[in-house]
A and B are shown apart, each in its own frame.
Chain A
Amino acid sequence: MTPAIRPRLLSRLEVGGGLLVAVALLAVPLVAAPFQTITVCYGLVFAIAALGFNLLLGYTGLLSFGHSAYFGVGAYVTAELVKYLGWTSMEAYVVAGIVASALVAALFGIVCVRYTRIFFGILTLALSQVLWSLALKLFWVTGGSDGLRVPTPTLLFGTLAPTKDKMDFLAYHYYYYVLVLFAAAVAVMWLIVHSPFGKALQAIRDNETRAEFVGVQVRKYRWIAFVVSGAFTGLAGTLWVPLNGLTTPDILYWQFSGRIVFFVVLGGFRTFWGPIVGALAYNYLETYAVGFTVYWQLVLGLVLVLLVLTLPQGLAGAVEALSRRLRGAPAVA
Protein backbone atom coordinates (compact mmCIF):
# COMPACT_ATOMS: atom_id res chain seq x y z
CA MET A 1 0.00 0.00 0.00
CA THR A 2 2.74 2.41 0.94
CA PRO A 3 5.96 1.04 -0.46
CA ALA A 4 7.89 4.00 0.84
CA ILE A 5 7.85 2.73 4.41
CA ARG A 6 8.59 -0.89 3.52
CA PRO A 7 12.17 -0.77 2.39
CA ARG A 8 13.80 -3.86 0.97
CA LEU A 9 15.36 -5.80 3.77
CA LEU A 10 18.69 -6.06 1.98
CA SER A 11 19.91 -3.66 -0.67
CA ARG A 12 21.12 -4.97 -4.03
CA LEU A 13 24.64 -4.06 -2.98
CA GLU A 14 24.27 -6.13 0.18
CA VAL A 15 22.88 -9.18 -1.62
CA GLY A 16 25.43 -9.05 -4.45
CA GLY A 17 28.36 -8.23 -2.19
CA GLY A 18 27.24 -10.79 0.37
CA LEU A 19 27.11 -13.58 -2.21
CA LEU A 20 30.54 -12.69 -3.55
CA VAL A 21 32.03 -12.63 -0.08
CA ALA A 22 30.33 -15.92 0.82
CA VAL A 23 31.78 -17.63 -2.25
CA ALA A 24 35.20 -16.14 -1.55
CA LEU A 25 35.12 -17.25 2.10
CA LEU A 26 34.03 -20.75 1.13
CA ALA A 27 36.86 -20.98 -1.38
CA VAL A 28 39.65 -19.77 0.92
CA PRO A 29 40.85 -23.17 2.24
CA LEU A 30 40.73 -24.63 -1.28
CA VAL A 31 42.87 -21.99 -2.92
CA ALA A 32 44.96 -20.41 -0.16
CA ALA A 33 47.89 -21.72 1.84
CA PRO A 34 47.09 -22.89 5.40
CA PHE A 35 48.72 -19.83 6.90
CA GLN A 36 46.49 -17.55 4.80
CA THR A 37 43.41 -19.54 5.70
CA ILE A 38 44.19 -19.34 9.39
CA THR A 39 44.71 -15.59 9.07
CA VAL A 40 41.22 -15.28 7.58
CA CYS A 41 39.92 -17.56 10.32
CA TYR A 42 41.29 -15.21 12.98
CA GLY A 43 39.61 -12.37 11.11
CA LEU A 44 36.24 -14.14 11.19
CA VAL A 45 36.58 -14.77 14.91
CA PHE A 46 37.40 -11.11 15.56
CA ALA A 47 34.49 -10.13 13.33
CA ILE A 48 32.10 -11.96 15.66
CA ALA A 49 33.55 -10.03 18.60
CA ALA A 50 33.26 -6.77 16.67
CA LEU A 51 29.63 -7.49 15.74
CA GLY A 52 28.82 -7.99 19.41
CA PHE A 53 30.68 -4.85 20.41
CA ASN A 54 28.90 -2.78 17.78
CA LEU A 55 25.47 -3.72 19.08
CA LEU A 56 26.46 -1.41 21.95
CA LEU A 57 28.40 1.29 20.07
CA GLY A 58 26.62 1.57 16.74
CA TYR A 59 23.10 0.64 17.78
CA THR A 60 22.80 1.61 21.43
CA GLY A 61 25.28 4.48 21.55
CA LEU A 62 27.46 3.01 24.31
CA LEU A 63 31.23 2.87 23.90
CA SER A 64 32.58 -0.09 25.86
CA PHE A 65 36.26 -0.10 26.68
CA GLY A 66 36.06 -3.44 28.39
CA HIS A 67 35.05 -6.01 25.84
CA SER A 68 38.27 -7.89 26.44
CA ALA A 69 36.45 -9.18 29.54
CA TYR A 70 33.89 -11.20 27.57
CA PHE A 71 36.38 -12.37 24.96
CA GLY A 72 38.62 -13.47 27.79
CA VAL A 73 35.83 -15.23 29.66
CA GLY A 74 35.00 -17.20 26.51
CA ALA A 75 38.64 -18.19 26.14
CA TYR A 76 39.34 -18.97 29.80
CA VAL A 77 36.17 -20.98 30.32
CA THR A 78 37.26 -23.18 27.44
CA ALA A 79 40.73 -23.54 28.92
CA GLU A 80 39.32 -24.41 32.36
CA LEU A 81 37.06 -27.08 30.84
CA VAL A 82 40.18 -28.63 29.37
CA LYS A 83 42.18 -28.25 32.56
CA TYR A 84 39.65 -29.49 35.12
CA LEU A 85 37.25 -31.69 33.16
CA GLY A 86 39.38 -32.80 30.24
CA TRP A 87 36.59 -31.96 27.81
CA THR A 88 37.59 -31.92 24.17
CA SER A 89 34.28 -31.18 22.42
CA MET A 90 34.12 -27.82 20.64
CA GLU A 91 30.33 -27.78 20.98
CA ALA A 92 30.67 -27.98 24.75
CA TYR A 93 33.18 -25.12 24.66
CA VAL A 94 30.87 -22.98 22.52
CA VAL A 95 27.86 -23.47 24.79
CA ALA A 96 29.93 -22.92 27.94
CA GLY A 97 31.66 -19.87 26.44
CA ILE A 98 28.40 -18.21 25.45
CA VAL A 99 26.69 -18.98 28.77
CA ALA A 100 29.64 -17.87 30.91
CA SER A 101 30.28 -14.62 29.03
CA ALA A 102 26.57 -13.82 29.06
CA LEU A 103 26.50 -14.36 32.83
CA VAL A 104 29.53 -12.14 33.40
CA ALA A 105 28.05 -9.49 31.07
CA ALA A 106 24.74 -9.74 32.94
CA LEU A 107 26.54 -9.06 36.21
CA PHE A 108 28.81 -6.28 34.91
CA GLY A 109 25.92 -4.85 32.93
CA ILE A 110 23.86 -4.21 36.05
CA VAL A 111 26.53 -1.74 37.13
CA CYS A 112 27.51 -0.31 33.75
CA VAL A 113 24.15 0.47 32.13
CA ARG A 114 23.30 2.88 34.92
CA TYR A 115 25.72 5.24 33.21
CA THR A 116 26.39 6.46 29.70
CA ARG A 117 29.23 8.14 27.81
CA ILE A 118 32.59 8.40 29.53
CA PHE A 119 31.32 6.94 32.81
CA PHE A 120 30.08 3.86 31.01
CA GLY A 121 33.40 3.52 29.18
CA ILE A 122 35.46 3.85 32.36
CA LEU A 123 33.32 1.35 34.27
CA THR A 124 33.55 -1.27 31.54
CA LEU A 125 37.30 -0.69 31.43
CA ALA A 126 37.67 -0.99 35.19
CA LEU A 127 35.64 -4.20 35.42
CA SER A 128 37.59 -5.83 32.60
CA GLN A 129 40.83 -4.99 34.44
CA VAL A 130 39.50 -6.77 37.52
CA LEU A 131 39.26 -9.95 35.47
CA TRP A 132 42.69 -9.33 34.00
CA SER A 133 44.29 -9.03 37.42
CA LEU A 134 42.45 -12.14 38.63
CA ALA A 135 43.75 -14.09 35.63
CA LEU A 136 47.23 -12.88 36.47
CA LYS A 137 47.13 -13.49 40.24
CA LEU A 138 45.14 -16.71 40.54
CA PHE A 139 47.90 -18.59 38.75
CA TRP A 140 47.00 -22.01 40.19
CA VAL A 141 43.66 -21.70 38.39
CA THR A 142 44.57 -19.60 35.37
CA GLY A 143 48.25 -20.34 34.85
CA GLY A 144 49.12 -16.72 35.61
CA SER A 145 51.08 -14.93 32.94
CA ASP A 146 51.94 -18.26 31.27
CA GLY A 147 48.27 -18.83 30.58
CA LEU A 148 46.64 -22.16 29.82
CA ARG A 149 47.10 -24.45 26.86
CA VAL A 150 44.12 -25.59 24.86
CA PRO A 151 44.68 -28.54 22.52
CA THR A 152 42.87 -28.67 19.20
CA PRO A 153 39.32 -29.84 20.02
CA THR A 154 37.14 -32.45 18.42
CA LEU A 155 34.36 -31.07 16.24
CA LEU A 156 30.75 -32.10 15.62
CA PHE A 157 30.14 -33.87 18.92
CA GLY A 158 33.38 -35.80 18.89
CA THR A 159 32.90 -37.28 15.41
CA LEU A 160 35.65 -35.19 13.85
CA ALA A 161 38.91 -35.61 15.72
CA PRO A 162 41.92 -33.44 14.95
CA THR A 163 44.27 -34.92 12.39
CA LYS A 164 47.96 -35.37 12.95
CA ASP A 165 48.84 -32.18 11.12
CA LYS A 166 47.25 -29.60 13.38
CA MET A 167 47.81 -26.78 10.91
CA ASP A 168 45.89 -28.59 8.15
CA PHE A 169 43.04 -29.40 10.52
CA LEU A 170 42.74 -25.79 11.60
CA ALA A 171 43.03 -24.47 8.07
CA TYR A 172 40.34 -26.78 6.73
CA HIS A 173 37.89 -28.39 9.18
CA TYR A 174 38.16 -25.79 11.87
CA TYR A 175 38.01 -22.96 9.35
CA TYR A 176 34.67 -24.21 8.01
CA TYR A 177 33.46 -24.74 11.55
CA VAL A 178 34.22 -21.11 12.36
CA LEU A 179 32.73 -19.97 9.06
CA VAL A 180 29.41 -21.65 9.87
CA LEU A 181 29.28 -20.10 13.32
CA PHE A 182 30.29 -16.74 11.85
CA ALA A 183 27.43 -16.97 9.34
CA ALA A 184 25.04 -17.88 12.16
CA ALA A 185 26.31 -14.98 14.28
CA VAL A 186 25.85 -12.55 11.38
CA ALA A 187 22.32 -13.82 10.76
CA VAL A 188 21.34 -13.60 14.41
CA MET A 189 22.83 -10.13 14.81
CA TRP A 190 21.18 -8.95 11.59
CA LEU A 191 17.84 -10.13 12.92
CA ILE A 192 18.41 -8.48 16.30
CA VAL A 193 19.25 -5.06 14.87
CA HIS A 194 16.30 -5.21 12.48
CA SER A 195 13.85 -6.40 15.13
CA PRO A 196 11.55 -4.12 17.11
CA PHE A 197 14.08 -4.52 19.94
CA GLY A 198 16.86 -3.33 17.61
CA LYS A 199 14.76 -0.32 16.65
CA ALA A 200 14.25 0.41 20.33
CA LEU A 201 18.02 0.34 20.88
CA GLN A 202 18.55 2.79 18.03
CA ALA A 203 15.88 5.00 19.52
CA ILE A 204 17.74 4.91 22.84
CA ARG A 205 20.95 5.82 21.03
CA ASP A 206 19.29 8.78 19.27
CA ASN A 207 17.28 10.11 22.16
CA GLU A 208 17.19 8.41 25.52
CA THR A 209 14.60 10.72 27.09
CA ARG A 210 12.17 10.42 24.23
CA ALA A 211 12.63 6.66 24.11
CA GLU A 212 11.56 6.53 27.75
CA PHE A 213 8.51 8.63 26.88
CA VAL A 214 7.30 6.35 24.13
CA GLY A 215 7.41 3.47 26.58
CA VAL A 216 10.84 1.93 26.03
CA GLN A 217 12.38 0.88 29.34
CA VAL A 218 15.77 2.35 28.56
CA ARG A 219 17.90 0.83 31.29
CA LYS A 220 16.45 -2.65 30.91
CA TYR A 221 16.96 -2.65 27.16
CA ARG A 222 20.50 -1.39 27.51
CA TRP A 223 21.16 -4.23 29.89
CA ILE A 224 19.77 -6.81 27.46
CA ALA A 225 21.92 -5.33 24.68
CA PHE A 226 24.91 -5.51 27.01
CA VAL A 227 24.33 -9.21 27.71
CA VAL A 228 23.82 -10.07 24.03
CA SER A 229 26.91 -8.09 23.14
CA GLY A 230 28.95 -9.90 25.79
CA ALA A 231 27.72 -13.31 24.63
CA PHE A 232 28.78 -12.63 21.02
CA THR A 233 32.20 -11.50 22.14
CA GLY A 234 32.44 -14.51 24.45
CA LEU A 235 31.67 -16.83 21.54
CA ALA A 236 34.51 -15.18 19.64
CA GLY A 237 36.85 -15.77 22.57
CA THR A 238 35.93 -19.46 22.66
CA LEU A 239 36.51 -19.86 18.91
CA TRP A 240 39.81 -18.01 19.18
CA VAL A 241 41.48 -20.32 21.74
CA PRO A 242 41.93 -23.41 19.55
CA LEU A 243 43.48 -21.21 16.84
CA ASN A 244 45.93 -19.73 19.28
CA GLY A 245 46.41 -22.96 21.23
CA LEU A 246 46.86 -20.93 24.40
CA THR A 247 45.10 -18.27 26.39
CA THR A 248 47.01 -15.69 28.38
CA PRO A 249 45.92 -12.67 30.45
CA ASP A 250 46.81 -10.47 27.44
CA ILE A 251 43.37 -10.99 25.95
CA LEU A 252 41.78 -9.66 29.14
CA TYR A 253 43.95 -6.57 29.12
CA TRP A 254 42.53 -3.21 28.10
CA GLN A 255 44.69 -3.11 24.99
CA PHE A 256 42.67 -5.94 23.59
CA SER A 257 39.48 -3.97 24.25
CA GLY A 258 41.10 -1.13 22.36
CA ARG A 259 41.76 -3.48 19.48
CA ILE A 260 38.04 -4.35 19.28
CA VAL A 261 37.28 -0.62 19.24
CA PHE A 262 39.82 -0.27 16.43
CA PHE A 263 38.12 -3.01 14.35
CA VAL A 264 34.85 -1.20 14.54
CA VAL A 265 36.16 2.31 13.94
CA LEU A 266 38.19 1.02 11.00
CA GLY A 267 35.18 -0.66 9.42
CA GLY A 268 32.62 1.93 10.44
CA PHE A 269 30.20 1.65 13.34
CA ARG A 270 27.32 3.28 11.49
CA THR A 271 26.80 0.30 9.22
CA PHE A 272 25.92 -3.29 9.97
CA TRP A 273 28.80 -4.69 7.91
CA GLY A 274 31.41 -2.21 9.12
CA PRO A 275 32.64 -4.21 12.14
CA ILE A 276 33.09 -7.32 9.99
CA VAL A 277 35.03 -5.44 7.33
CA GLY A 278 37.06 -3.71 10.02
CA ALA A 279 37.97 -6.90 11.88
CA LEU A 280 39.08 -8.68 8.70
CA ALA A 281 40.99 -5.64 7.45
CA TYR A 282 42.69 -4.99 10.80
CA ASN A 283 43.72 -8.58 11.10
CA TYR A 284 45.44 -8.43 7.70
CA LEU A 285 46.92 -5.06 8.40
CA GLU A 286 48.42 -6.28 11.66
CA THR A 287 49.65 -9.59 10.28
CA TYR A 288 51.49 -7.84 7.45
CA ALA A 289 52.58 -4.77 9.36
CA VAL A 290 54.22 -7.05 11.93
CA GLY A 291 56.10 -8.89 9.19
CA PHE A 292 56.99 -5.70 7.36
CA THR A 293 58.38 -3.53 10.14
CA VAL A 294 59.16 -3.60 13.83
CA TYR A 295 57.31 -0.30 14.06
CA TRP A 296 54.00 -1.97 13.21
CA GLN A 297 52.18 -0.28 16.08
CA LEU A 298 53.25 3.05 14.64
CA VAL A 299 51.86 1.98 11.26
CA LEU A 300 48.53 1.01 12.87
CA GLY A 301 48.42 4.29 14.76
CA LEU A 302 49.00 6.28 11.59
CA VAL A 303 46.32 4.31 9.79
CA LEU A 304 43.87 5.09 12.57
CA VAL A 305 44.69 8.80 12.53
CA LEU A 306 44.39 8.98 8.74
CA LEU A 307 41.17 7.05 8.87
CA VAL A 308 39.50 9.28 11.42
CA LEU A 309 40.56 12.35 9.45
CA THR A 310 39.65 11.14 5.96
CA LEU A 311 37.03 8.40 6.35
CA PRO A 312 35.20 9.04 9.59
CA GLN A 313 32.48 6.58 8.53
CA GLY A 314 35.05 3.81 8.22
CA LEU A 315 35.69 1.51 5.28
CA ALA A 316 32.18 0.09 4.98
CA GLY A 317 30.64 3.52 5.52
CA ALA A 318 32.80 4.97 2.75
CA VAL A 319 31.84 2.18 0.34
CA GLU A 320 28.19 2.74 1.16
CA ALA A 321 28.46 6.48 0.61
CA LEU A 322 30.30 5.90 -2.66
CA SER A 323 27.68 3.49 -3.97
CA ARG A 324 24.96 5.95 -3.01
CA ARG A 325 26.74 8.69 -4.91
CA LEU A 326 27.20 6.46 -7.97
CA ARG A 327 23.49 5.70 -7.98
CA GLY A 328 22.80 9.40 -7.70
CA ALA A 329 20.81 8.94 -4.50
CA PRO A 330 20.85 11.77 -1.97
CA ALA A 331 23.35 11.58 0.82
CA VAL A 332 22.03 10.66 4.22
CA ALA A 333 23.26 12.65 7.17
Chain B
Amino acid sequence: MTTVLLETRRLVKAFGANRAVDAVDFTVQAGELLALIGSNGAGKTTLVNLISGLLQADAGTIVFEGRDVTRQSIHERIEAGIARSFQLVNLFDQLTVADNVALTIFARQGKTPHLWTVAARDTVVADEAAQVLRQFGLASKAGMPAAGLSQGERKLLDVAVAYALKPKLLFLDEPTSGVSTREKAPIMDVVTSVVRQEHITAVVIEHDMDIVFRYSDRIVAMHQGAILAQGSPDEIRRNEQVTTTLIGSPPPA
Protein backbone atom coordinates (compact mmCIF):
# COMPACT_ATOMS: atom_id res chain seq x y z
CA MET B 1 0.00 0.00 0.00
CA THR B 2 1.52 3.27 -1.04
CA THR B 3 0.16 6.77 -0.76
CA VAL B 4 0.98 9.55 -3.13
CA LEU B 5 2.77 12.41 -1.37
CA LEU B 6 3.39 14.64 -4.35
CA GLU B 7 2.03 14.69 -7.83
CA THR B 8 2.54 17.00 -10.78
CA ARG B 9 -0.01 17.05 -13.57
CA ARG B 10 0.98 18.15 -17.06
CA LEU B 11 3.55 20.52 -15.55
CA VAL B 12 5.12 22.90 -18.07
CA LYS B 13 7.99 25.37 -17.87
CA ALA B 14 9.51 26.92 -20.96
CA PHE B 15 12.50 29.22 -21.31
CA GLY B 16 11.89 30.85 -24.67
CA ALA B 17 11.46 28.09 -27.21
CA ASN B 18 13.04 25.52 -24.91
CA ARG B 19 10.43 23.54 -23.01
CA ALA B 20 12.62 22.57 -20.04
CA VAL B 21 9.75 20.75 -18.40
CA ASP B 22 7.21 19.54 -20.93
CA ALA B 23 3.87 18.30 -19.57
CA VAL B 24 5.43 16.18 -16.86
CA ASP B 25 3.36 13.85 -14.68
CA PHE B 26 5.70 13.16 -11.80
CA THR B 27 4.70 11.23 -8.70
CA VAL B 28 6.45 10.71 -5.39
CA GLN B 29 5.18 8.01 -3.04
CA ALA B 30 5.30 8.61 0.70
CA GLY B 31 8.36 7.10 2.32
CA GLU B 32 10.36 6.32 -0.78
CA LEU B 33 13.84 7.41 -1.73
CA LEU B 34 13.46 8.35 -5.34
CA ALA B 35 16.33 9.06 -7.71
CA LEU B 36 15.75 11.55 -10.50
CA ILE B 37 18.20 10.92 -13.31
CA GLY B 38 18.87 12.32 -16.75
CA SER B 39 21.59 13.99 -18.72
CA ASN B 40 22.38 17.69 -18.33
CA GLY B 41 19.49 19.78 -19.58
CA ALA B 42 16.96 17.00 -19.11
CA GLY B 43 14.86 19.24 -16.87
CA LYS B 44 15.53 17.65 -13.48
CA THR B 45 16.59 20.79 -11.66
CA THR B 46 13.86 22.83 -13.36
CA LEU B 47 11.31 20.30 -12.15
CA VAL B 48 12.63 20.63 -8.59
CA ASN B 49 12.71 24.42 -8.92
CA LEU B 50 9.04 24.35 -9.93
CA ILE B 51 8.02 22.08 -7.08
CA SER B 52 10.01 23.97 -4.45
CA GLY B 53 8.70 27.34 -5.66
CA LEU B 54 11.89 28.90 -6.99
CA LEU B 55 10.23 29.01 -10.42
CA GLN B 56 6.56 29.47 -11.30
CA ALA B 57 5.02 26.91 -13.64
CA ASP B 58 3.65 28.07 -17.00
CA ALA B 59 0.94 25.43 -16.92
CA GLY B 60 -0.09 22.33 -15.03
CA THR B 61 -0.55 21.74 -11.33
CA ILE B 62 1.49 20.57 -8.37
CA VAL B 63 -0.43 18.68 -5.71
CA PHE B 64 1.18 18.03 -2.33
CA GLU B 65 -0.70 15.90 0.19
CA GLY B 66 -3.86 16.41 -1.83
CA ARG B 67 -3.55 20.22 -1.84
CA ASP B 68 -2.80 22.32 -4.88
CA VAL B 69 0.41 24.22 -4.14
CA THR B 70 1.10 25.41 -7.69
CA ARG B 71 0.62 29.09 -6.89
CA GLN B 72 1.89 29.03 -3.32
CA SER B 73 4.92 31.04 -2.22
CA ILE B 74 8.19 29.39 -1.26
CA HIS B 75 7.36 30.16 2.34
CA GLU B 76 3.98 28.42 2.18
CA ARG B 77 5.49 25.35 0.55
CA ILE B 78 8.13 25.14 3.27
CA GLU B 79 5.40 25.31 5.88
CA ALA B 80 3.55 22.57 4.03
CA GLY B 81 6.66 20.40 4.35
CA ILE B 82 8.70 20.74 1.15
CA ALA B 83 12.41 21.45 1.58
CA ARG B 84 15.39 21.33 -0.74
CA SER B 85 19.14 21.49 -0.92
CA PHE B 86 21.12 22.95 -3.81
CA GLN B 87 23.39 21.61 -6.50
CA LEU B 88 25.93 24.36 -5.98
CA VAL B 89 26.47 24.57 -2.27
CA ASN B 90 24.30 27.30 -0.84
CA LEU B 91 25.30 28.08 2.71
CA PHE B 92 25.55 31.06 5.03
CA ASP B 93 29.31 31.26 4.75
CA GLN B 94 30.07 33.75 7.49
CA LEU B 95 27.81 32.10 10.03
CA THR B 96 29.17 29.21 12.02
CA VAL B 97 28.27 25.66 11.04
CA ALA B 98 26.04 25.47 14.13
CA ASP B 99 24.30 28.76 13.25
CA ASN B 100 23.61 27.55 9.72
CA VAL B 101 21.53 24.76 11.18
CA ALA B 102 20.21 26.81 14.11
CA LEU B 103 18.84 29.43 11.74
CA THR B 104 16.74 26.80 10.00
CA ILE B 105 15.41 25.62 13.35
CA PHE B 106 14.59 29.19 14.40
CA ALA B 107 12.75 29.68 11.13
CA ARG B 108 10.85 26.41 11.52
CA GLN B 109 9.81 27.33 15.06
CA GLY B 110 8.70 30.78 13.93
CA LYS B 111 11.34 32.47 16.09
CA THR B 112 13.17 34.42 13.40
CA PRO B 113 11.00 37.52 13.95
CA HIS B 114 12.27 37.70 17.56
CA LEU B 115 14.49 40.75 18.00
CA TRP B 116 14.60 40.67 21.77
CA THR B 117 16.13 37.31 22.67
CA VAL B 118 19.74 36.21 22.44
CA ALA B 119 19.93 33.43 19.87
CA ALA B 120 22.90 31.74 21.51
CA ARG B 121 20.97 31.45 24.77
CA ASP B 122 18.18 29.37 23.24
CA THR B 123 19.24 25.97 24.53
CA VAL B 124 16.35 24.12 22.90
CA VAL B 125 17.49 25.25 19.47
CA ALA B 126 21.19 24.82 20.30
CA ASP B 127 20.61 21.25 21.46
CA GLU B 128 18.65 20.37 18.35
CA ALA B 129 21.30 21.96 16.13
CA ALA B 130 23.98 19.95 17.93
CA GLN B 131 21.91 16.80 17.43
CA VAL B 132 21.53 17.48 13.70
CA LEU B 133 25.27 18.10 13.36
CA ARG B 134 26.01 14.82 15.14
CA GLN B 135 23.70 12.98 12.74
CA PHE B 136 25.64 14.44 9.84
CA GLY B 137 29.05 13.89 11.42
CA LEU B 138 29.74 17.63 11.62
CA ALA B 139 29.66 18.07 15.41
CA SER B 140 33.38 18.77 15.66
CA LYS B 141 33.05 21.67 13.19
CA ALA B 142 30.16 23.40 14.97
CA GLY B 143 32.00 26.60 15.89
CA MET B 144 33.74 27.05 12.56
CA PRO B 145 32.50 29.45 9.86
CA ALA B 146 30.78 27.45 7.13
CA ALA B 147 33.26 28.89 4.61
CA GLY B 148 36.02 26.94 6.36
CA LEU B 149 34.60 23.48 5.65
CA SER B 150 35.90 21.08 3.03
CA GLN B 151 33.77 20.53 -0.06
CA GLY B 152 32.45 17.20 1.21
CA GLU B 153 31.52 18.73 4.55
CA ARG B 154 29.86 21.63 2.80
CA LYS B 155 27.70 19.23 0.80
CA LEU B 156 26.70 17.49 4.02
CA LEU B 157 25.93 20.77 5.77
CA ASP B 158 23.86 21.85 2.77
CA VAL B 159 21.69 18.76 3.26
CA ALA B 160 21.66 19.20 7.04
CA VAL B 161 20.32 22.76 6.70
CA ALA B 162 17.40 21.53 4.58
CA TYR B 163 16.88 18.50 6.81
CA ALA B 164 16.63 20.69 9.93
CA LEU B 165 13.34 22.01 8.54
CA LYS B 166 11.97 18.53 9.35
CA PRO B 167 10.26 18.36 5.97
CA LYS B 168 7.93 15.67 4.75
CA LEU B 169 9.51 15.80 1.33
CA LEU B 170 13.17 16.62 0.82
CA PHE B 171 14.71 17.38 -2.56
CA LEU B 172 18.45 16.87 -2.78
CA ASP B 173 19.93 18.35 -5.91
CA GLU B 174 23.12 16.41 -6.59
CA PRO B 175 24.27 15.92 -2.99
CA THR B 176 27.56 14.44 -4.18
CA SER B 177 28.41 16.75 -7.08
CA GLY B 178 31.81 18.39 -6.91
CA VAL B 179 33.36 15.86 -4.54
CA SER B 180 35.81 13.09 -5.38
CA THR B 181 34.47 9.63 -6.27
CA ARG B 182 35.91 8.31 -3.03
CA GLU B 183 33.85 10.78 -0.98
CA LYS B 184 30.52 10.13 -2.73
CA ALA B 185 29.52 6.91 -0.97
CA PRO B 186 30.29 8.17 2.57
CA ILE B 187 28.16 11.26 1.93
CA MET B 188 25.28 9.18 0.55
CA ASP B 189 25.61 6.76 3.50
CA VAL B 190 25.11 9.58 5.96
CA VAL B 191 22.34 11.28 4.00
CA THR B 192 20.32 8.15 3.28
CA SER B 193 20.64 6.81 6.82
CA VAL B 194 19.32 10.08 8.28
CA VAL B 195 16.50 10.24 5.75
CA ARG B 196 15.41 6.65 6.35
CA GLN B 197 15.74 6.91 10.11
CA GLU B 198 13.48 9.95 10.18
CA HIS B 199 11.04 8.54 7.61
CA ILE B 200 11.51 11.48 5.30
CA THR B 201 10.52 11.06 1.69
CA ALA B 202 13.45 12.10 -0.45
CA VAL B 203 14.03 12.86 -4.10
CA VAL B 204 17.69 12.79 -5.07
CA ILE B 205 19.00 14.20 -8.35
CA GLU B 206 22.12 12.27 -9.18
CA HIS B 207 24.40 11.60 -12.13
CA ASP B 208 26.50 8.81 -10.75
CA MET B 209 24.62 5.64 -11.76
CA ASP B 210 26.44 3.48 -9.21
CA ILE B 211 25.16 5.75 -6.46
CA VAL B 212 21.67 5.78 -7.98
CA PHE B 213 21.38 2.01 -8.22
CA ARG B 214 22.84 1.46 -4.80
CA TYR B 215 20.75 3.87 -2.73
CA SER B 216 17.37 4.46 -4.37
CA ASP B 217 14.08 2.60 -4.07
CA ARG B 218 12.76 3.87 -7.36
CA ILE B 219 14.15 5.78 -10.30
CA VAL B 220 12.60 8.33 -12.63
CA ALA B 221 14.58 9.04 -15.77
CA MET B 222 14.06 12.33 -17.60
CA HIS B 223 15.08 13.26 -21.10
CA GLN B 224 14.51 16.55 -22.92
CA GLY B 225 11.92 17.80 -20.46
CA ALA B 226 9.85 14.65 -20.32
CA ILE B 227 9.82 11.48 -18.29
CA LEU B 228 11.52 8.74 -20.28
CA ALA B 229 11.00 5.85 -17.91
CA GLN B 230 10.40 5.01 -14.28
CA GLY B 231 10.67 1.92 -12.15
CA SER B 232 12.77 -0.01 -9.68
CA PRO B 233 16.55 0.12 -9.99
CA ASP B 234 16.46 -3.34 -11.60
CA GLU B 235 13.85 -2.32 -14.15
CA ILE B 236 15.77 0.81 -15.04
CA ARG B 237 19.03 -1.11 -15.31
CA ARG B 238 17.41 -3.40 -17.87
CA ASN B 239 15.58 -0.65 -19.70
CA GLU B 240 17.29 -0.40 -23.05
CA GLN B 241 15.90 3.04 -23.81
CA VAL B 242 17.33 4.43 -20.59
CA THR B 243 20.69 2.78 -20.86
CA THR B 244 21.29 3.88 -24.41
CA THR B 245 20.03 7.44 -23.89
CA LEU B 246 21.48 8.15 -20.48
CA ILE B 247 24.27 5.77 -19.77
CA GLY B 248 25.50 5.36 -23.31
CA SER B 249 25.98 1.62 -23.18
CA PRO B 250 23.70 -1.36 -23.81
CA PRO B 251 22.14 -3.04 -20.77
CA PRO B 252 24.28 -5.65 -19.05
CA ALA B 253 23.65 -9.21 -20.18
Instruction: Name B134's closest neighbour in chain A (CB-CB).
Output: A2
Known A202-B95, A206-B95, A209-B90; judge A215-B115 contact (CB<8 A).
no
- Contact residue range for chain A? 35 or more
CB distance from A211 to the nearest CB of B (A): 7
CB distance from B84 to the nearest CB of A (A): 6
| Residue A1 interfacial (CB < 8 Å) | yes
Instruction: Name A210's closest neighbour in chain B (CB-CB).
Output: B90
Chain B residue numbers with a CB within 8 Å of A6 are 120, 123, 126
Contact A215 B108 (CB under 8 A): yes
| Residue A221 interfacial (CB < 8 Å) | yes
CB distance from B118 to the nearest CB of A (A): 5
Contact A196 B106 (CB under 8 A): yes
Contact B114 A197 (CB under 8 A): yes
Contact A195 B118 (CB under 8 A): yes
Q: Which residues of B75-100 are within 8 A (CB) of A?
A: 75, 78-79, 83-84, 86, 90-96, 98-99
| Residue A194 interfacial (CB < 8 Å) | yes
The SS class assigned to the A binding surface is helix
Contact A196 B117 (CB under 8 A): yes
Question: How far apart sit A6 and B91, CA to CA, in the bound complex (Å)?
Answer: 20
- Pick the contact of B93 from A2, A4, A206, A213 — CB < 8 Å? A206
| Residue A125 interfacial (CB < 8 Å) | no
Q: Which residues of A180-229 are within 8 A (CB) of B?
A: 191-192, 194-200, 202-203, 205-207, 209-217, 221, 224, 228
Contact A206 B92 (CB under 8 A): yes
| Residue B235 interfacial (CB < 8 Å) | no
Chain B residue numbers with a CB within 8 Å of A215 are 75, 78-79, 104, 107-108, 112, 165
Chain A residue numbers with a CB within 8 Å of B122 are 196
11 of the cross-chain contacts (CB-CB < 8 Å) are: A4-B142, A6-B126, A191-B116, A195-B118, A196-B113, A196-B117, A206-B93, A209-B54, A211-B103, A214-B104, A217-B75
Q: Given contacts A199-B112, A206-B92, A207-B90, could you give 11 more A-B pairs where the C-beta distance is less than 8 Å?
A: A4-B143, A5-B102, A9-B118, A192-B115, A196-B111, A196-B114, A200-B106, A211-B103, A215-B104, A216-B103, A332-B145
- Which A residues are within 8 Å of any B CB, using their own CB? 1-2, 4-7, 9, 191-192, 194-200, 202-203, 205-207, 209-217, 221, 224, 228, 332-333
